[in-house]
Structure 1
Amino acid sequence: MRRASSFEIVAARAWNVLNEGRPFTPVFVAGVFLLCHIGDWGQPAYWSAMAGALGAVLPLFVVYFFYDFPLYLRNYLWLPVVAAVVIWEGTRDVLGLWLAGIGLFFFFTVFFWGTFYYRMRIGTPWNNFARFWKLVLQHSDSTSGNAQEQLPKTMLLLYLLHLTYGWIRGGGAKAADWGTLYVFIAAVWLLAWILHRYLFDWKPKERTESPGTLPRVGEAVSRKVYVLVVDGMRKERFEQANAPFLKKLRAEGTEFTSMETVYPARTVVCFSSMFTGAYPREHGIKSNFVYRLGVRTETIFDSLRKVGKTGRLLGIAHLIDSMGDDVDAITAVMRHDRADAETVEMAKRIVEERNPDLMVVQLIGTDQIGHSRGVFYDDYIEKIEEADRLLENFVGWLSERGLLEEATMIVCADHGQAIGIGGHGHLDEGERFVPFFLAGHGIRRGVRVDAPHSLVSMAPTLAYLLGAPYPDHSRGPVLTEALESFGDRSAAIEKKEGYGSS
C-alpha cells in the first residue's frame, strides 16, 4: 500500500492540462506550429512573426477555450473550416501542416496516452493501441481524446496561424485582409454562442433547496456512515455484472433508480458536489483541471468538525485539489489489477488508526478500465465484479470489528461512462444516471424510489444521518424516502406524486 507522493500530486495536475480539452487545444496547436517551424528557430524574425500570429489568432483560441463542442455539437465545427478554405482560397500551402497536426494528435492520443501512458500507469497491454484508436474516434466528451472535436479545432487554428504568420513575414497583408480575419473570428464566436444558447440543452435542472428549507437536524441517526464509491460505474453495466454482494445490499436497503450526476460529470467535479451539496458554479470546481485549489463552500467534513466528529475521503490525488487535507490520496500509479485491492487495504488501515465517523472510499479501477480499454468490453464488467468482491471483503471486515452496529452504508458511482475512451463529462448516454442505494441502520428495507434525485443530496443526507449542520450551500434535499424515521411520510409523498416506490 502506498500513498500518493508529492510528485504524483503535482504530476496529476500537470497531466490534466493535456487531458482536459480546453487547455489541450491551445497547448497542442501552438506546439505543432512550433515543431513544424523548428528550422526557423534561429531566426529572430521568426519569433516576432510567431508572436504576432499567435496574438492575431488569440481571439479564436479564447472562443475555443470557453466553448467546447461535445456530443453532436462537434459536427458544427467543420463549418468554419470549410468557410476558411473558401474565403482564403485553398489548402495547398497548409496541407503539410494539417498532416503534421493530425499525425501528432493520433500519436499523442493513441500511442503516448492510450499505450505508453496507460502501460506505465496501470499496466495495460503494449498493444492497447489496436483498440484505443477506435475509442478515440468514438469518444464524444470534450477531452483531448475526442478526435471529432479536436481535429477541426486544430485544423482551423493551424490554418489561421499559417495565414497570419505568412502575412507578417511577407509584409503583404492589407487592412482589408485583417478586417476579413476578424469578421470571420466574430462569426465563429457567434456560431458558438448560438449553438450553446439554443442546442446545448441537456444540463440537469438544478435543485433549489437551501439549508433553511431542509429537515431540522437532531441527534445522529447513525453512529458511523461508510460511503463506497465505484468510480465510473455505468448503471446498466452494473446490472449486467455478476455482483451478488452489492445487489444483495441494494435489495436489503433503499435504491434510488433515477439518481443523476452533476454537469460536467468529471470526477473532481462530482466529488466536490457530492460532499458540499452544491453545484459547480457555487463550489468553483468545474473540471478536473483545477485553477484555484479548494472548494469555495463548506464541505460535509467542515460540518462534522463543528460537532466534534471526523470524516476521511480515501481516493486519488486529483481529489486533494478540491477537498485538501480531508483526503488521504492513494497512488493511482499501479497495475489496474491491484489498484482497488490496495485501496481497500488502505481503507482498513485508516479505520484502524482514525476510526472516522464518516469514511468515504473511492475505487478507481472500473473508471480506469473504462478509459483505457472501453466500456463495452469484458474488461469493464470484470472490474465491476472485482469491486463487488472487494467491497464484500471490506464490509465483512467492518462487521467482524463491530463497526457496523448503528452504521449506514451508501453505495454509488460518481458518474457513468459512455462509449469511446470511457467518456464522461457532458452527459452522453450512460453517463447521466448512476447506481445509488443505502442500507444498514436507519434505512428502510426493500424500497425502490423512482423519483428524480441528484448527487447533491449526498452531503445534506450525510449531515442528517450524523447529526451535523448542513454545509452552507447544500442544494439537494435530504433523501428522506430512505429513512425509517420518515417512512410513513415518504410513502405518502411517493404515492401522491406517483413516484413508483415499492
Structure 2
Amino acid sequence: MKKASGFEIVAARCWNMLNEGKPFTPIFVMGAYALYHMNQWGDPAFWAAFGIGLLVALPIFVLYFVYDFPLFLRNYLWFPVIGALVLWRDATLDFGLYGTALGLFFFFTIYFWGTFYYHLRIGTSWWNFKRFWKLVLKNSDSTSGNAQEQMPKFLLLLFIVDGAARRWGMDEVLFSTDFTWSSYAWFVIGLVVYTLVLHRNLFDWKPKEIPTYTNNTAESKVASSEKVYVLVVDGMRKDRFEEANAPFMKNMRAQGTEYTQMETVYPARTVVCFSSMFTGTYPREHGITSNMVWKLGIKVESIFDSLRKVGKRGRLLGIAHLIDSMGDDVESVTAVMHNDKADRNIMERAKLIVSEQNPDLLIVQFIATDQTGHSRGALFDEYREKIEEADQLITEFVGWLQAGGYGDNATYIVCADHGQADGIGGHGHLDEGERYVPFFMYGTGIRSGIKVDEKHSLVSVAPTLAYLLGAPFPSHSRGPVLLEGIEGKQPAELSMKAVEGASWMK
C-alpha cells in the first residue's frame, strides 16, 4: 500500500478548490464568463471591462463566500435573482451566457466529476453519469455539486458581472438604463441585510458548542489501556449500518458501550471532523473549517501532542487530505486506487504500521464506504455492501492484533466521522443521515452491555483517548471524557440501560 505522493497531496489541494462550494463559486463565474467570450481574448478592452465587472460584483462574491445557504435556505437564493431581474427589467439578457454556464456546470459535475474523475481515481464505471445526475440535483451539502445552491449564486453573479462590464466597461447603455451605481448599492445593501436576517432567524440547526474546556474529571496519570485502536469507517451512515450485515462490529457494540446519540460537528466535512475528533474542540478554534485548508496545520494541540508529553506515540492512517491538518502525525495512503481494493490495502498498511512501529494509539480511516456514497449514493445497495466489507476487514484486523499479542490490554473505538445524505458529496450541512454517527467502545477498561442515550459529541474522542492512555488532555479540549463507558468511572446520575450481550469472536 503506497503512500500518497507529493504530487497527489498537491493535486488533492487543487481539487478542493473546485470541490468545496465556497471557492468554486468565484472560480466558476470567472471561468464561465471568460470561456463564453473566448473570441475577445485578444482585445485589451474586453479584459478591462471584465475586470470592472468583477470589481463591481466583489461585495456579492465576498458575501457568498462568507455565508453558506445550507439545506432549505438555498431556496431563498432565487429571490435575489428575481429581484435583480425586476430591478433592472430593461436589461438586455445574454441567454447564451447563462445557457453556457449551466451547460458547463452540469458537464463538470455530472461527467467530469461524477464519471471521468471517479473512473480514473477509484474505478467507477464509465456509465456512472446515468445515476450521478440525480445525485447532483438532490445534493444538499457544502460542495460545488450542490446544484440548488450553486445555480442561483452563479446566475446572479454572472448577471452582475456582465451588466457592470457592459454598462461601465464598454459604455453599453443598452444593457439597462436603470443599472446605476445607486441602484446597485441599494441592491447590495438589501442582499446583505436579507442574508443576515435569514441566517440569524432560520439557520438554527448547528450543534451547540460546549462552552468550557474538559472538566468532568481530572486527567488520568495512569493508563487504563496499553493500546487504543480507533477504527473510523468514513461516512458510515447510522441507519445504513443498522441495515447492514455487520455481525462483528455489532457484537463489539453489544459487548461494549454504545453511544446512541453521538453527534458530529459542523460543517460535517472529513478534515473538519477528524480535526475536531482528535483535538477535542470545534472548527472556529482548531482552524480547519472545510476540506479546503487555506493555512496548513491545526492551531491547537492534538491527541498526538498530548501523547508525546508522556513519551507515547500515536499515528493516524488516512488519505492525503488529513495531512493538511495533522501534518507529520499522518501516515498517508494514496486515494488513487480501485474502491474495491481501498479498505483492504488500508488494513494491510495498518498491520505494517503496528508490526514496525507498535504505536500506543493507532487511528485507521477506512474510506471505501464514503467514496461509494460520493460516487454512487448512500441509499443504494453498493453503499451498504461497503459497510459489510468494512466489517469483514475489521474482523480480520482485530483477529490479527490478538493473534500477534498487539491486542492484549487494548481498547477499541469504532465510529464514523460523519454520516451521509443522498447526493454527490453527501455531507456537510447536516442533512438527514449526517448528524448522528455509529459510536461504540470495547475492550480493556470498557463496560460491557451498556447503551448511553444522552447526546454526546465527537469532540469527546480526544480527551477520552488521553484519559485511557494516561496522557494530559489536549490544550483546547472541550469534550467531556466518556466516563459512562469506562469501568468504575461512570457518573451515577446518568441514565443507561444494559443490552443483551452477543457472542464475541465466534
TM-score range, shorter-chain basis?
Answer: over 0.9
Q: Which residue of 1 aligns with 2:360?
A: 357
Distance apart, 1:213 and its partner CA: 5.0
Distance 1:422 1:377, change over 3 A: farther
State whether structure 2 residue 317 is matched by structure 1 residue 314: yes
- Equivalent residue in structure 1 for 2:418, among 415, 419, 422: 415
Cα deviation, 1:350-407, whole Å, max 9, x if unaligned, reads 0011000000000000000000000110000010000000111110100101111110
State whether structure 2 residue 202 is matched by structure 1 residue 199: yes
**What CA distance in whole angstroms lies between the structure 2 residues aligned with 1:198 and 1:296?**
31
Distance apart, 1:485 and its partner CA: 2.2
Q: Which residue of 1 aligns with 2:502?
A: none
Q: Which residue of 2 aligns with 1:4?
A: 4
1:330-349 correspondence to structure 2 within 5 Å: 330-349=333-352
Q: Which residue of 2 aligns with 1:266?
A: 269
Unaligned runs of 5+ in 2: 500-506
State whether structure 2 residue 460 is matched by structure 1 residue 457: yes
Look up the equivalent residue of 1:111 and give its one-letter code.
Y
Distance apart, 1:212 and its partner CA: 5.0
Cα deviation, 1:214-247, whole Å, max 9, x if unaligned, reads 3231210000000000000000000000001100
State whether structure 2 residue 395 is matched by structure 1 residue 392: yes
Contact 2:297 2:326 in 1 (8 A): yes
State whether structure 2 residue 267 is matched by structure 1 residue 252: no
Contact 2:53 2:169 in 1 (8 A): no
Q: Which residue of 2 aligns with 1:469?
A: 472
Q: Which residue of 1 aligns with 2:63?
A: 63
Q: Which residue of 2 aligns with 1:218?
A: 221
Q: State the SS of the aligned residue for 1:484.
A: coil
Q: Which residue of 1 aligns with 2:106?
A: 106
State whether structure 2 residue 242 is matched by structure 1 residue 239: yes
Distance apart, 1:93 and its partner CA: 2.7
Look up the equivalent residue of 1:299 and give its one-letter code.
S
Distance apart, 1:170 and its partner CA: 3.4
Look up the equivalent residue of 1:378 and give its one-letter code.
D
Q: State the SS of the aligned residue for 2:426.
A: coil
Look up the equivalent residue of 1:137 and give its one-letter code.
L
Distance 1:46 1:131, change over 3 A: same
Distance apart, 1:169 and its partner CA: 3.7
Look up the equivalent residue of 2:53 and give its one-letter code.
A
Q: Which residue of 2 aligns with 1:184?
A: 187
**What CA distance in whole angstroms lies between the structure 2 residues aligned with 1:176 and 1:41?**
26
Look up the equivalent residue of 2:389 and give its one-letter code.
E
Distance apart, 1:91 and its partner CA: 6.6
Look up the equivalent residue of 1:261 and give its one-letter code.
T
**What CA distance in whole angstroms lies between the structure 1 residues aligned with 2:138 and 2:272?**
24
Q: State the SS of the aligned residue for 2:292.
A: coil
**What CA distance in whole angstroms lies between the structure 2 residues aligned with 1:202 and 1:409?**
31
**Which deviates the most, 409-418 or 190-199?**
190-199
Q: Which residue of 1 aligns with 2:306?
A: 303
Distance apart, 1:473 and its partner CA: 0.5
1:24-173 correspondence to structure 2 within 5 Å: 24-89=24-89, 93-171=93-171
**What CA distance in whole angstroms lies between the structure 1 residues aligned with 2:247 and 2:170?**
70
Q: State the SS of the aligned residue for 1:265.
A: coil
Cα deviation, 1:463-496, whole Å, max 9, x if unaligned, reads 000000000101010000000121xx43x2224x
Distance apart, 1:315 and its partner CA: 0.2
**Which deviates the most, 272-281 or 203-212?**
203-212
Contact 1:314 1:347 in 2 (8 A): yes
**What CA distance in whole angstroms lies between the structure 2 residues aligned with 1:156 and 1:327?**
41
Unaligned runs of 5+ in 1: none
Q: What TM-score, normalized to structure 1?
A: 0.97
**What CA distance in whole angstroms lies between the structure 2 residues aligned with 1:450 and 1:178?**
57
Corresponding pairs, count: 496
Contact 1:209 1:477 in 2 (8 A): no
Cα deviation, 1:299-340, whole Å, max 9, x if unaligned, reads 000000000000000001000000000000100110000000
Structure having the higher helix fraction is 1
**What CA distance in whole angstroms lies between the structure 1 residues aligned with 2:219 and 2:498?**
24
Aligned residues: CA RMSD: 1.3
- Between the aligned residues of both structures, percent identity stands at 62
1:431-442 correspondence to structure 2 within 5 Å: 431-442=434-445
**What CA distance in whole angstroms lies between the structure 2 residues aligned with 1:189 and 1:290?**
26
Look up the equivalent residue of 2:291 and give its one-letter code.
N
**What CA distance in whole angstroms lies between the structure 2 residues aligned with 1:176 and 1:94?**
15
Q: Which residue of 2 aligns with 1:375?
A: 378
**What CA distance in whole angstroms lies between the structure 2 residues aligned with 1:43 and 1:32?**
18
Distance apart, 1:172 and its partner CA: 5.3
